[in-house]
Amino acid sequence: MKIKLYFEGWSPLSIDVVDTRTGRLYYDLVKKHYTLKKPFYKDNIKWTKEYLIELANIAKKELGWNWLSDDYSLDVTTQLHKDLEYSVGRVGFENMPEEYDWLLYDMHHCLHSIQNGKTNKERNCNLQLEWLTDDHIELPTEFEFVTDINRGDLILINPYVGHNPLQLYMENDASDLMSTCKFHDQIKPAIVISSFTSRVTKNEMLEWLNDNDPEFVKLHTPEKILYYSGSARIGSVDNLELFENIMHSTTELKFERLEFDE
């Protein structure tokens, strides 16, 4: 199963979706939503510290959030993420006031861009298109999270505003695990292509969680936590050289269309 992703002025990115039950459910869900409307897309090239300061001023005025800081370190950005978890995560995307959709979206992804070390005009975040909807399919129980992720991999979008156990470990965020930790148990319509390569250290992560919140580990069990701590990979880009050229380009990327080939 192939999905071709077109940006204006570029040859199409060819994405191969694995032929599994999960892959087929994902493919059909994305195709269904594309027939209804175009995906939501913003070029992440602009998600810089300077842009976050602009957004913080708007959020302070409109939402009363104090996101202004002299130093957007990992500790600071992790704490700021709590505002999003408690607002968007509580009511869902579709129930947030529409006039704040763009602001919350940009603040969320700008935070992660800075956490990923954004320092220039190239793209350091995942290449992502999505439909801002709560529509989803339950993740099949036989799905296997992998212990590695590579640049150019197609991954399922995180269905929640919170983070999975591995991401919490990587960001050293052990505060309020009961609320922040979300297990990836849904398929939502989106195209997310990984911008990074990493390897999972599951046992170290479990030990860290147990040291910080043994009651959380006891409640969910080590087996469940370990299962949901891998990468939700369901495919990969075929033409990686083109993907790299797109990611390193400093001109704005404008989404054009998708094509599906079963």
Q: Are residues 246 and 135 in the same domain?
A: yes
Kindly list the distances between the CA atom of residue 46 and the CA atoms of 5, 121, 132, 173, in Å, as whole numbers in the listed order. 21, 7, 20, 26
Range among 94-98, 142-146, 177-181 with highest mean pLDDT value: 142-146
- Residue ending a domain, among 122, 143, 159, is 122
Q: Are residues 101 and 134 in the same domain?
A: no
Residue 210, pLDDT > 70, answer yes
Going by pLDDT thresholds of 50, 70 and 90, the confidence category of residue 20 is very high
Q: Are residues 48 and 36 in the same domain?
A: no
d(CA 138, CA 38): 23
Q: Are residues 2 and 88 in the same domain?
A: no
- 149 near 233, Cβ under 8 Å? yes
Q: Which one-letter DSSP state was computed for residue 126?
A: P
Domain count, the chain: 2
d(CA 79, CA 160): 17
Residue range(s) defining the domain that contains residue 229: 1-40+123-262
pLDDT tens, 23-71? 999 999 999 999 999 998 988 777 777 777 787 788 777 777 766 666 6
Q: Are residues 50 and 6 in the same domain?
A: no
Q: Are residues 203 and 218 in the same domain?
A: yes
Going by pLDDT thresholds of 50, 70 and 90, the confidence category of residue 91 is very low
Q: Are residues 157 and 184 in the same domain?
A: yes
Residue 26: give its domain's CATH number: 2.40.100
Q: Are residues 208 and 95 in the same domain?
A: no
Q: Are residues 151 and 163 in the same domain?
A: yes
- Residue ending a domain, among 81, 104, 122, is 122
- Residue ending a domain, among 63, 90, 122, is 122
